[in-house]
């Protein structure tokens, strides 16, 4: 089974909460309570999202976090990569030099194509699409993952 990690899922939940009120600065404690997540986990996720440039952080008594970009400009792949790093179906499809079999592997190139298709599909889904108020709609037909040998 392929699935995103809990931290990537939590990052998406927090980003949707921030997207619901994109101009408002929300504290980590407020976000943790609203999302029913542990405060240390929320702090860790928000730090990673800030490092990736997806949220702005503000210090002080009125400090907290808000989106750094408009919701229509933030893709799901950006959120996942902020938490996980580059997406790849296998280690060798993420970066070279991760496997001693790379020089003679017959499936590395196909896995790289599959990884590319997954990244392309996730990059077409925006944070705006994840908002609860957004009506459910089928994905555009051009999101279909195609793999050519």
144 within a domain of the structure (yes/no): no
89 within a domain of the structure (yes/no): yes
107 within a domain of the structure (yes/no): yes
Q: How confident is the model at residue 146 (pLDDT cuts 50, 70, 90)?
A: low
141 within a domain of the structure (yes/no): no
CATH number at residue 91: 1.10.10.10
Compute the distance between CA of residue 36 and CA of residue 30 in angstroms, rounded to an integer.
Answer: 10
Q: What is the DSSP string of 73-133?
A: G-BHHHHHHHHH-S--SSHHHHSTTS-TTGGG-SSHHHHHHHHHHHHHHHHTSBHHHHSTT
More reliable by pLDDT, 98 or 3: 3
Domain span at 39: 6-136
Q: Return the number of other C-beta atoms located less than 10 Å from residue 80's C-beta.
A: 21
Number of domains in the chain: 1
**Triad 42, 45, 50: Cα angle to 5°:** 120
Instruction: Supply the pLDDT for residue 77.
Output: 96
148 within a domain of the structure (yes/no): no
pLDDT tens per residue, range 16-73: 999 999 999 999 999 999 999 999 999 999 999 999 999 999 998 889 999 999 999 9
Instruction: Supply the pLDDT for residue 136.
Output: 52
Q: Return the number of other C-beta atoms located less than 10 Å from residue 87's C-beta.
A: 18
More reliable by pLDDT, 94 or 1: 94
Global confidence as pTM: 0.82
55 within a domain of the structure (yes/no): yes
């Amino acid at each position: 089974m392929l699935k995103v990690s809990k931290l990537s899922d939590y990052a998406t939940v927090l980003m949707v909460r921030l997207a619901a009120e994109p101009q408002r600065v929300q504290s980590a404690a407020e976000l943790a309570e609203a999302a029913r997540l542990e405060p240390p986990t929320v702090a860790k996720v928000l730090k990673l999202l800030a490092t990736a440039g997806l949220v702005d952080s503000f210090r002080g008594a009125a400090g907290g976090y808000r989106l750094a970009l408009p919701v229509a400009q933030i893709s799901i792949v950006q959120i996942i990569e902020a938490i996980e790093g580059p997406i790849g179906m296998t280690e060798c499809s993420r970066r070279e030099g991760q496997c001693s079999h790379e020089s003679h592997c017959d499936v590395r190139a196909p896995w790289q194509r599959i990884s590319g298709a997954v990244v392309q599909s996730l990059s077409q889904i925006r944070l705006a699409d994840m908002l609860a108020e957004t009506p459910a709609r089928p994905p555009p037909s051009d999101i279909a993952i195609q793999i050519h040998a």
